[in-house]
Each structure stands twice: as structure tokens, then as C-alpha cells.
Structure 1
Amino acid sequence: MFLKQMALGMLAGVALNASAQAADIDHVLLISVDGLHALDVANFVEAHPNSAMAELTGHAVTFSNARIPFNSDSFPGLLALVTGGSPITTGLFYDVSYDRTFFDPANTTCKGAPGNFMVFDETIDLYKGAVSQNVIDPTKLPRRLLNGQCVPVFPHQAIKTNTIFEVVKAKGGRTAWADKHPAYDLVNGPSGKGVDDLFTPEITNAPPPPAVGFDATVSVDCTVANDALKVTAIINEINGLTHDGRPAGGAPAVFGMNFQAVSVGQKLAKDNSDGSCPQSTHSGQPGGYVDGRGTPSAVLAFGLQKTDEALGDMIKALKNRGIFNSTLFIVSAKHGQSPINPAKVTKPGHFADLVASLPDSGTDPGAQAILSAGNCPTGSCGFIQDDDVALVWLGDQSKTQAAVDYLNKNAKALFIEDALAGDEIELKLNSPKHDSRTPDIFVQPIYGTIYTTSGKKNAEHGGMSFADVNVGLVVSNPRLQATTIKTPVLTSQVAPTILRALGIDPDELNSVRVEHTTVLPGLFDKD
């Protein structure tokens, strides 16, 4: 059995159907169903008692009060699951963010004042015409000085801590992961070699103009089809193959994927609005929820159902392979989605535009500092990232207090619930004065507010509202009795739990040591 250490790898007697016996966990399958709230899990299982999710929760510890450690973008959300940390140690707040020491991709000599965007989304793909080649184009990456050389920074090089994949691989275990963009090279960790079998079929083609690529996320049906590529990869890996069916010598010790259909089903204002998804069966129908109780629309219900069917296929494959009992099956999410209640949706426009519309924005020093960041085309003048959050990196950090005072004074007009800066930031994160990644200001808008004018989406993530950060978390194995733990936990506790289940010391993860992340309760003896 893989790296079994009896002192570390025993499931708790209170959770086992028998007395404390070795759980014999040889594999961990980690699934992120992006957008999946704890409420979605409860509602789906209640409505579908014969579903795959119901089977998993029937022998699982379900954490109904699990939350993401900080903000709810995909990057920090996934890194919580696979590093055991938050942006304090991972150094990443968003897939498109800012670093005060980086340079523009076109600045190949790293001359001039440092400070530039870190773009790690679909736009860094290598394209032929309008088709992503599912690899990263190094010429599109931010650059930094390293040993006197101006070099591109790949996503995995931007992480400041190691991952479970690196730790497991170092102990002799095989690793695999599948995700939505080539930028999820991220999970390789700083070594660049953590994942043996990385599969990243691009879901959202965004080639340079004038080319226009096909975007699967225009429709829940086309998103399900993209998810299915990754599901096939998981089935192959369960059967001891690589994601594309080549011999690999057995199922990975730790592997998994992300699903996008639920997230897309939550966000779509109108399915297949541009008619580009030929297999859409929901064209013109709204996504999201129909009420504040979390009742899914037909579009979202389809995403949930197809995701559940895929989980069922994985369960079947594990059973056929004879490794279901030796696999810890974890279902969670990188992020939730906000708002759940459609009556709460407000889309007032982009954050910087709202600031610019205020009558004194042209004269107030704080407003001018914000607008300078919002209008920065490249370089050291700052950056604003907004969705249902606004992260502000100022070009002139000496203006931070003036900027946050201006925001607080105009909170109502700017739909602001809270604006964090100074001590309020430093109580939760590394100081922006000393950390090149930490935003100077973190703006949490009023619940339901999305800083956009887009008519395509009625929900978003990135912020810290309850709907953003409260996600489903199910840890399942046939030896476990169905238990629900309502005590608050963090999704960052998943990473040390995975290592402990495989008999590896969780302190092998840097983030676990620095942030004092504990394993999830209720799963191991003496917790």
C-alpha cells in the first residue's frame, strides 16, 4: 500500500463502520466543481436520493460550513486545495493580478520602473488563428529579473509555496490533474514538475484580434462537452493509463479535475446567446437560480445533473478497477458564486468607471490615485481587478489612505460594503508595503453587486461574500459513516488531509507550516 504509516493513515474510529482499522488509502481523487455551494450539495442530494452525490455523501464526512481562506477567484481557490495556504503564502490573488517587481511581456530587457500585470488566463495560450494549441506562449508572459537575466514567468513560477503534487511525487507517487486553461500549469508548483500528467484543454478561446475563437462557456451544453474531455482523462487514469490512453503503470496516488458546467450554469444570463454552441438544448433560457432558496434554473439543473453523472462514471470506474475502497474521493470547489438570489443582482458598471463618474473625481487626490491605477495600460502605474470584488494596486502607495478615505466617503454611490486598507489589510494578509503582490485596497461590494456592464452574466466570483466563499466539501470513502460537521473549516485544510491520508507528514507543505493549517476534523484518530 502507498506510503502507509499507521500512525498517520487511520480514519477515526468514530467515523468508521468498524473499530479503528487501517483505511488503506492508496489514492486520492480531488474534484473541484466550480461554483458548488454547500447549499447546492444539500439541495441536490435531497432531490436526487439515487444520485452519485448521494452515494458519496452516504459514506462521507460532509463539511457544511466550509469556506475558502480569502478571496474566491479560481487561482487562490485551487491553491487553497492543493497547497494548504492562502495568498499569504501562495502569493496569488487572481488569475489576472499585479506584481510590483514584474515587467511587461514586451519589455524583454526589464528596463525602466518595475511593476506590471500578471496575466495568467486564456489569453496567454499559443494560438494558430482562432484555435488554442493548449500550451502557453512564453512571449505573452510577464517578465522579471532573475540572476541578471530578464526572463518570462510561467504560472508555476509565480507560486511562492509548494503543492501536494510536488510532495507526493517526491515520495514516489504518480500525480495527475486536468483543468480549464493551460495556465493551470500553476499546479506543477515552483519546481515546474509536480504533475506527471497535466491535461488542460482550453475552454475559452481568446486569440489576439482580429481572430475570434469559439468559447464553450456561451452554453452549459458546450461546457458539459468540455468537461467530458477531462472526465475521459480521469477514467483513463483510474484505469492505470495517462489522460490520453497510454500505459502508465497504475492509477495516480493523487489526481483530479475541475468541472465548469455548474459555474457556467450559474452565471449565464441567457444560454447560447450568440448561437455558437450547435449542441445547445437550452438556447435562450436563463441560467442561475430562480429564488433565494437555491432552486436551480433548467440551465443550472442540467449542469448539476451532468456533473453528477460524470461523478457516477468515476465511481463505477473505481469499482471496476477494484480501488474504490482504497480511494479517498473528495468533492469541493475552487469558489462559489454570488449572488444566489436573482433579486439581488446589481450591475452598475466597472469600478473605475463608477469612481470617474463622481463629481469630484477629477480633483480629489484619492480618486486620482484610483483612476490612475484603473487607466494604467501597462507598467508601474498600478492596476484594478474587478468582478464582484475590486482589488486595487496603486501606482503611488503613499496615496493609499487618501484613496480609501475617498472610497469610504462615497461608499453608497460605489456600492461598497467595505473597503480594506492599511491595518485592516495587514491583519489578514502580508503588508502591501513589503509584499509585491498584496493589493493596497480590497473592496467588497454590497451583496449581489457585480462591477460590470456585461449582459452575459448574472453571477460572478472573486469576492468574499458568503455565496462566494461557502462551498461544498465532501470527503468520502466506503469505510466512513455519513456525518455532517457544521463547525467552520477552510478548504485549505484539504491539502494536509490528503497528505495525511496517504501517510505523508502534512508539514511537507510549506503553507501548512507557515499558516498552521490543520487537517480536517472527524477523519483521523486523536484529531
Structure 2
Amino acid sequence: MTTGGSPRTTGVFYDDSYDRTLSAPGSKCATKGAEIVYDESIDKDPTALNGGGGIDPTTLPLDPSKGCTPVYPHSFLRVNTIFEVARQAGLNTAWSDKHLAYDLLNGPSGKGVADLYSPEIASVGSTVADIEAYDDVKVQAILHEIDGKDHSGTKNAPVPAIFGMNFQAVSVAQKTAGAGYVDAAGTPSAQLQEALTHTDQSLGKFVSELNKRGLSKDTTIIVTAKHGQSPVDPNKHQIVDSKIIPNLVNSVQPGLLAQATQDDVSLIWLTDSSKTNAVVAKLSANAAQANIGQIISGDELKQFFNDPQTDSRTPDIVVLPNQGVIYAKPTATKIAEHGGFSDDDTHVALLVSNPDLKASAVYTPVSTTQIAPSILQILNLNPQALQAVRAEKTQLLPGLSSNKGDE
């Protein structure tokens, strides 16, 4: 949503992935090939709301090609972001998200987001009420920015040209046992309805403050989601032991598994990519045990991503489980997850609102990658300034006009 690109160009697959050319934290670059984790575990103190005041460089992967220096999240991203393009045009930018690891949004320059506020979600409780209160902290930061302050409300700052936040309450309510959806039609449980209502009211606070400051006509609001959750239908929910697939991979050859990132998908990196076909055969032969619906590798994989033989970050194999399956510990209580290719994961709401736009529904299939170039177009900046947009030929969202009436 901030680059206009897919993992093919961004090089980012998940907050837990792998890179064959980087080295593990603390390894002094003695070996190559490292799990790349960008979540609360890289905070100086993940139990503190401010993450302990910064990212702990000793927890970061190392780059042997650059003097064995730590790879911060923003440096891991291969392409620029809308924030960087806006900053280069002299505009102010701000964002609020859930981990310090969202330094990623700064882009390779490390300077994209002028006011990046990332209170650590891991430092708060896990109930829906806890997460609503956590979201409220970020909502207040946005309200300060609408009022011409920084996120803390203590310093004057230009109202950002691009700003916003990530809401977590709905996601948590979708995944929490006893919450989620009550049927295949997507009827929300009481807890999920509460999270939806709370988030809606938060959006209302933004609109109210924009109105109060006379900024509504100059502001386009985009509401969407990074992902959905699977399964929506609670009857399809099934936890499958996350050790099954790694054990099958290593049964082909001990130590063959470099990394398996698993939720309602399994991304598999091998220490020896020449064994890919053998692993696929083993997984296929045990598809029932692992509840596998589809295995993607080889030429089929290259339809989605770069060739793992030439791209250090592309997984060798992607396993898509049967609908509703989540790979986790057998004792896991979560009732939904994300990361897979199902409709539940990938079909998300997308609302664009501006007083100059006529109310309408657009039925043309679109992707969230189209949001980034559209934001630049709205700001009368060049969408082609985004490297991923040029590489993937990402189109603008249909039916939108800039505030000056340019299509």
C-alpha cells in the first residue's frame, strides 16, 4: 500500500522471512543465510510502549556485503515509498503503526516518514478492550497531527500531506477465541461488532476534526486493510501442527529446512534449492497429514514471485493448506490467521472518500498495490516516481480524480 509493489519488487514477504545472502544476528557473518524477523523482538524492550526507546541493533540480521553491518527494516526494503516521494517534494509525512519495525515505511533512504509513531502493541494486553485502548493512543496522535502538531501534541508541525494509522482491534477480534464470525455469511460476534463499532467511531473522530479545522475538502480518506483473516466460516477452522511440514522437509535430508514461515500458509526456504522437487514429492505424498490443498514451486512459483534461484528472498516452495487450516501449535486457541492466498485473506474492503467524489461502487477488480500511485496522483505528484510502480506497471485506482480534477 505504500510502495505500489508486490514481494517481487519490494523483497518483503512477511515480518518473518529469510534471506540467503544475509547473516544471522551475532554471527559476525561467519555464515550466510538468515531468518529475517522484524517484529517486537527487535525492540530494546518489547514490554514497554515505546519499545525501550529504539531498535536493538544486536537483534538485526547482518549484511556481509556491507562490512557485516546491521540491516534495519528500512534498508531491507528494495524500493521507495510514497512517504519518500512526498518528502522529496518538500511535503510533511506521518504514520502510526504497531511495532518499531515499521521503520520499514521509511524506505531505503530511512527518512520517508517525518513523524513515525509506533507504540509497541506487544506491551499491552491481548483482549479486544486492551487493543481498542491501544488503538486510541494512535488515534489521539492522528488528531494532534490534524491540529497542526506532531504526534505527541507538544510541537507545532505542518499538517501532513500523507498520514494515517493501522487499527488492530478488528484483526484481534477476528482471531480471538469466542469472538470472530459466527457463520459463513460473515455475521460478526458481539466482540467483533464492538471492535468494528469502535474503529468506525475512531474514523468519525478524524472526520469531525478535519471538519473543525476546515480540511475536509482538501483531504482524501482511504480505508482498507492489509489483509483479511481465514477462515470466516467457523465450521472450517482447523489447527494443524506446525511441526508436520518442517519434519517432512527434513526427512528428505537432515537440515534441509532453512526457514518455514507458517500461518494459514507455509513459506519454505531450503538450504539446498536443488532438493525442491524431492521436497514437493514428499509433501505431495503426505498431503492428507498436513492438510495441504496446493503446492506451488518451480515455474508456477515464478508466475507470482522472482525465481528463488536468482532472488535471495523468494521461498523455494509455497504450501497452501485446505481452507480453514492454520498451522500452529496444537494448543493454539486462535480462530483465524492470514498470509495465504484464499479469498478470506485477500478480498478486503477498499473505500475512498472525498467531498468531490460522487458516491458509487466500482466493480473493476483492483489491488491494494494501486493505492500508492493513486495517493501520489491525488497529491499532484508523479506516480511513476515509485520504483515498484514502474517495475510492475501498477495502475491507478479507477474512478478517482485529484483535487484539481485531473483524472
Deviation at 1:370, TM superposition (A): 7.6
* Aligned 8 A contact 1:348 1:450 in 2: yes
Equivalent AA in structure 1 for residue 255 of structure 2: S
The residue correspondences of 1:370-449 to structure 2 (distance < 5 A) are 372-374=255-257, 382-449=258-325
* Aligned 8 A contact 1:367 1:406 in 2: no
* Aligned 8 A contact 1:370 1:403 in 2: no
Deviation at 1:409, TM superposition (A): 2.4
**Structure 2 CA distance for partners of 1:225 and 1:373, relative to 1, 3 Å:** farther
Match of 1:368 in 2: 251
CA–CA distance in structure 2, aligned partners of residues 330 and 308 of structure 1: 13
Q: Helix, strand or coil for the counterpart of 2:294?
A: strand
Match of 2:165 in 1: 257
Deviation at 1:246, TM superposition (A): 2.7
Equivalent AA in structure 2 for residue 519 of structure 1: L
Q: Helix, strand or coil for the counterpart of 2:220?
A: strand
**Structure 2 CA distance for partners of 1:506 and 1:393, relative to 1, 3 Å:** same
Match of 1:93 in 2: 13
* Aligned 8 A contact 1:373 1:394 in 2: yes
**Structure 2 CA distance for partners of 1:420 and 1:371, relative to 1, 3 Å:** farther
Q: Helix, strand or coil for the counterpart of 1:383?
A: strand
**Structure 2 CA distance for partners of 1:479 and 1:176, relative to 1, 3 Å:** same
Q: Helix, strand or coil for the counterpart of 1:259?
A: coil
**Structure 2 CA distance for partners of 1:327 and 1:129, relative to 1, 3 Å:** closer
* Aligned 8 A contact 1:100 1:436 in 2: yes
Match of 2:73 in 1: 155
Question: Which structure: greater helix fraction?
Answer: 2
The residue correspondences of 1:74-473 to structure 2 (distance < 5 A) are 81-107=1-27, 109-112=28-31, 114-127=32-45, 132-147=51-66, 149-205=67-123, 215-216=124-125, 218-269=126-177, 286-350=178-242, 352-353=243-244, 356=247, 368-369=251-252, 372-374=255-257, 382-452=258-328, 453-473=330-350
Q: TM-score, normalised by structure 1?
A: 0.74
* Aligned 8 A contact 1:134 1:201 in 2: no
* Aligned 8 A contact 1:134 1:200 in 2: no
**Structure 2 CA distance for partners of 1:230 and 1:401, relative to 1, 3 Å:** same
Measured against aligned partners, the alpha-carbon deviations of 1:452-492 in whole angstroms (never above 9, x if no partner) come to: 12433100001111000111100100111111112210000
Higher relative contact order (CA 8 A, sep 6+): 1
**Structure 2 CA distance for partners of 1:119 and 1:322, relative to 1, 3 Å:** same
CA–CA distance in structure 1, aligned partners of residues 8 and 48 of structure 2: 37
Match of 1:505 in 2: 382
Measured against aligned partners, the alpha-carbon deviations of 1:390-417 in whole angstroms (never above 9, x if no partner) come to: 0000011110011112212222221111
**Structure 2 CA distance for partners of 1:129 and 1:176, relative to 1, 3 Å:** closer
* Aligned 8 A contact 2:5 2:369 in 1: yes
**Structure 2 CA distance for partners of 1:267 and 1:128, relative to 1, 3 Å:** closer
**Structure 2 CA distance for partners of 1:86 and 1:371, relative to 1, 3 Å:** farther
Q: How many residues align?
A: 402
Q: Could you list the runs of 4 or more consecutive aligned residues of structure 1 that deviate by over 6 angstroms after TM superposition?
A: 128-131
Deviation at 1:526, TM superposition (A): 8.3
CA–CA distance in structure 1, aligned partners of residues 54 and 4 of structure 2: 27
* Aligned 8 A contact 2:263 2:339 in 1: yes
Q: Helix, strand or coil for the counterpart of 1:330?
A: strand
**Structure 2 CA distance for partners of 1:503 and 1:120, relative to 1, 3 Å:** same
CA–CA distance in structure 2, aligned partners of residues 514 and 90 of structure 1: 10
Match of 1:71 in 2: none
**Structure 2 CA distance for partners of 1:429 and 1:173, relative to 1, 3 Å:** same
CA–CA distance in structure 1, aligned partners of residues 112 and 101 of structure 2: 15
Root mean square deviation of aligned Cα: 1.6
**Structure 2 CA distance for partners of 1:299 and 1:427, relative to 1, 3 Å:** same
Equivalent AA in structure 1 for residue 135 of structure 2: D
Deviation at 1:451, TM superposition (A): 0.5
Deviation at 1:146, TM superposition (A): 3.5
Measured against aligned partners, the alpha-carbon deviations of 1:500-525 in whole angstroms (never above 9, x if no partner) come to: 00001100000000000010001137
Equivalent AA in structure 2 for residue 353 of structure 1: I
In structure 2, stretches of 5+ residues that fail to align are: none
**Structure 2 CA distance for partners of 1:354 and 1:188, relative to 1, 3 Å:** closer
CA–CA distance in structure 2, aligned partners of residues 343 and 128 of structure 1: 35
Deviation at 1:354, TM superposition (A): 5.1
**Structure 2 CA distance for partners of 1:129 and 1:223, relative to 1, 3 Å:** closer
**Structure 2 CA distance for partners of 1:409 and 1:424, relative to 1, 3 Å:** same
Measured against aligned partners, the alpha-carbon deviations of 1:100-148 in whole angstroms (never above 9, x if no partner) come to: 01111111x3123x1010010111110287773252111100111244x
Q: Helix, strand or coil for the counterpart of 1:492?
A: helix
In structure 1, stretches of 5+ residues that fail to align are: 1-80, 206-214, 270-285, 375-381
Q: TM-score, normalised by structure 2?
A: 0.95
Q: Helix, strand or coil for the counterpart of 1:222?
A: helix
CA–CA distance in structure 1, aligned partners of residues 47 and 161 of structure 2: 38
CA–CA distance in structure 2, aligned partners of residues 343 and 504 of structure 1: 47
